[in-house]
Amino acid sequence: MTAEFIKPVIWEGDAIRLLNQQKLPGEVEYIFLKTIEDVWDSISELKVRGAPAIGIAAAYGLALWAKKNGSDDLQTLKTDLTEKSAYLNSSRPTAVNLSWALQRLLKASGEEASAEKVITRLETEAILIQQEDEETCRRIGEYGFSLLPEQATVLTHCNTGAIATSKYGTALGAFYIAKEQGADISVFATETRPVLQGARLTAWELQQAGIDVTLITDNMAAHVLRTKQIDAILVGADRITANGDTANKIGTYGLAILAKAHGIPFYIAAPLSTIDLHTATGDDIVIEERHAEEITHIAGKRIAPEGINVFNPAFDVTPHELITGIITEKGIVSGDYESGLAELFEPARI
Amino acid sequence: MTAEFIKPVIWEGDAIRLLNQQKLPGEVEYIFLKTIEDVWDSISELKVRGAPAIGIAAAYGLALWAKKNGSDDLQTLKTDLTEKSAYLNSSRPTAVNLSWALQRLLKASGEEASAEKVITRLETEAILIQQEDEETCRRIGEYGFSLLPEQATVLTHCNTGAIATSKYGTALGAFYIAKEQGADISVFATETRPVLQGARLTAWELQQAGIDVTLITDNMAAHVLRTKQIDAILVGADRITANGDTANKIGTYGLAILAKAHGIPFYIAAPLSTIDLHTATGDDIVIEERHAEEITHIAGKRIAPEGINVFNPAFDVTPHELITGIITEKGIVSGDYESGLAELFEPARI
């Protein structure tokens, strides 16, 4: 199996088939989500993760609910959809793709004149989001690849790969394109505590695809930057604000500082759906704090004393001045992010 | 039990009673080391860790061997001691206290005129090293405490506490002194992957002592420095070279860069036995690389895919220009480390 064929979210018409990322890399398990509550739980419990994949799962979740439970009265249906959309949106607070995908479904289906047509449109629109994401990721990968030297060694954080999206991934997309083109690419992957997406997912995905990958712990990054001839750091994003400040997996901000200290370019790779022009700066982003157990336990085993205080922010914010470039499906933005990001949305965003 | 009474290495006359730090915090287990091979294994397997504690254990290990196996022929004994000392010294390559303690034993016992007296002297010298370390740590703690504001929040890395030394610890010594003086101290402890000394040992030690401690993963440090009003970073050292470059637990170098980026002082706390004037700069330090399993497994469970490449340096080197001050038992050195560190050893080092 090569990573190209790993799909994290598969629409079955009356259920969502989901790769349970909590079981990787030990076990490749697909689960079936049959209710909107199943979808909420899967997002909340990180069975599906990665901003684009979360958006796709939520879109199918809303379509699934409508298909099974939607009223045949148009007004009742619309009221219920608003409520169910808000419910799904509450499953993860930081990822903007979640609300983006749900809003897109509400808007598109809102054009329809009957309950039946609304329900059909929700499904076709969710499928369209997934198809577009695949094309988007391919373009991001191509733009990302264009920034790398011929023989490249790149450090990445968390998982922004095929299993975080529909295919290819965002930051990892550049590595898949490099592999397709026969380029010489090596990757250092940080394990990404506390949930270990780097060790469990990125290392697995790249290994499956035959890409040279070396796993390190998060605190080895500075030593690796100093000693291993790293050409670039390439990571994803959960939310990019109007001025370019970027919320991403905890640890990203530290890597950006380390990149600057070593004179190494630091790139964010993310689809337009991650860019939130309605949020002015990173200061306006609410940082999700997660369960203490993510830190005190690993693989079900306690590694810290009972009753210890824990601080567990899931994300941090990297100020735009530490970012060399933001790679999107419509090109690479750098320098004046405020105007550069806004231009990506002209003509007006869907 | 308060941390003051936790002793990691206890001399029993015919054995070493050792706190098995690999079992903490789940279990407080003492093991008995009865042969020099037991001591070698315990150091190599991190059952005893922390530069001063390693030095103490190795010193007792050599004394133990001599007491049980030493020849009554002086020349044979001396030849054997040189060989056994080299053997013990090979148990961990980076920590300078190990060779420092062993050299001190060889030198002191070398003054004796009979095999019997050499054997006795080895034991008394090992006991003296432990007693001096306790006094040393207390002074380091007092100097460290003097650098902190009245209400202090400090970030620390790895474990440099009572259980890494004879008592008090080095970097953690400042917190114990603060506690003794009734000062208001809060600590953020990084978990310190891969071996989790922060989560398993520092969090446990400080919690036992009633000191306010919050556990974070290593990659949260930058976000904490930015958002939590941190007054200082205070860490230990495994080897300090003549120019002030410092080898310490992997992750230290990154923290030093992050401290500078946030305008936060970055202190090293270490006894004179950690200072190696015979090594000119950090470039001359050999960085120990350890087993891949430390990264791919946690608490016996696999967390990364089979066959994955791993890079596992145990230490990194922090250049002296990133260090605000080096806290020793003879005072605080800053600025011109080359002359400042050399002055600590006048009159000439023992």
Q: What are the chain B neighbours of A188 within 8 Å (beta carbons)? A: 311
Print burial letters for B292-307: b (CB count within 10 Å at least 16), e (below 16).
bebbbbbeeeebbbee
| H/E run at residue B101 | helix B96-110
- Tens digit of pLDDT for each residue in A313-330? 999 999 999 999 999 999
Supply B127's token pair.
């006991």
Q: What is the pTM of this model?
A: 0.88
| Residues A205, B317: Cα–Cα separation, whole Å | 32
- What size, in residues, is chain B? 350
Contact list, A295 vs chain B (CB under 8 Å): 191, 199, 215-217
Q: Which residue of B has its CA nearest to A247?
A: B223
Helices and strands per DSSP (H, E), number in chain B: 12, 17
Residue B189 is assigned to a ligand binding site: no
Which tokens belong to A69? 């439970």
Say if the Cβ atoms of A188 and B311 lie within 8 Å: yes
The residue of chain B nearest to residue A218, with distances taken between CA atoms, is B219
Give the A:B interface size as CB pairs under 8 Å.
Answer: 188
Q: How far is B57 from chain A (nearest CA, A)?
A: 26
Spatial distance between the Cα atoms of B28 and B35, rounded to a whole number of angstroms? 22
Which positions in chain A touch B21 (Cβ < 8 Å)? none
Contact state of A214 with B309 under an 8 Å Cβ cutoff: yes
| Contact between B250 and A223 using a beta-carbon 8 Å cutoff | yes
> For residue B193, which residues of chain A lie inside 8 Å, CB to CB?
191, 193, 217-219
pLDDT at residue A50 in the model: 85
350 residues of chain B, pLDDT tens digit each: 344 457 899 999 999 999 999 898 988 899 999 999 999 999 999 999 888 899 999 999 999 999 999 999 999 999 999 999 999 999 997 767 899 999 999 999 999 999 999 999 999 999 999 999 999 999 999 999 999 999 999 999 999 988 888 888 999 999 999 999 999 999 999 999 999 999 999 999 999 899 999 999 999 999 999 999 999 999 999 899 999 999 999 999 999 999 999 999 999 999 998 899 999 999 999 999 999 999 999 988 999 999 999 999 999 999 999 999 999 999 999 999 999 999 999 875 44
Residue B193 marked as a ligand binder? no
Mutant choice from B220, B233, B288 vs A, greatest count of A C-beta within 10 A: B220
What ipTM was estimated for this complex? 0.88
- Which residues of A are tagged catalytic? 238
Please provide the size of chain A in residues: 350
Q: Per-residue pLDDT tens for A161-188?
A: 888 888 889 999 999 999 999 999 999 9
Q: Is B200 among the annotated ligand-binding positions?
A: no
Taking 50 as the threshold, does the pLDDT of residue A345 lie above it? Answer: yes
Q: Which of B254, B260, B299 sits opposite A303 (nearest CB)?
A: B299
Which of A28, A217, A227 is the best residue to mutate to test the B interface, defined by the most B CB atoms within 10 Å of its own CB? Answer: A217
What is the percent of chain A with per-residue pLDDT over 70, rounded to a whole number? 97
Listed in sequence order, the residues at least 6 apart from A156 whose beta carbon sits closer than 8 Å to its beta carbon are A171, A172, A175, A187, A188, A189, A190, A198, A202, A233, A234, A235
Of B276, B272, B282, B284, which is closest to residue B246 (Cα–Cα)? B282
Contact A299 B298 (CB under 8 A): yes
Q: Which of B193, B194, B215 sits opposite A304 (nearest CB)?
A: B215
Query: What are the pLDDT digits (tens) for B39-82?
Result: 999 999 999 988 889 999 999 999 999 999 999 999 999 999 99
The residue among B153, B187, B196, B219 with the most chain A CBs within 10 A of its CB, best to mutate, is: B219
pLDDT at A347 over 80: no
Burial (CB < 10 A; 0-12, 13-18, 19+), residue B71, is middle
Burial B160-199 (b: 16+ CB within 10 A, else e): bbbbbbbbbbbbbbbbbbbbeeebebbbbbbbbbbbbbbb
Mean pLDDT of chain A: 94
Binding residues of A for substrate are 49-51, 92, 197, 248-249
User: d(Cα A309, Cα A296) in Å, to the nearest integer?
Assistant: 10
CA distance A189 to chain B (A): 10
Q: Which residues of B touch A305 (CB under 8 A)?
A: 25, 203-204, 207
Q: Which of helix, strand or coil describes residue A290?
A: coil
How far, CA to CA in Å, does B227 sit from each of A283, B26, B224? 11, 32, 5
User: For residues B17 and B28, what is the distance between their CA atoms, to the nearest angstrom?
Assistant: 13
**Pairing status of strand A232-235 against strand A266-269:** parallel
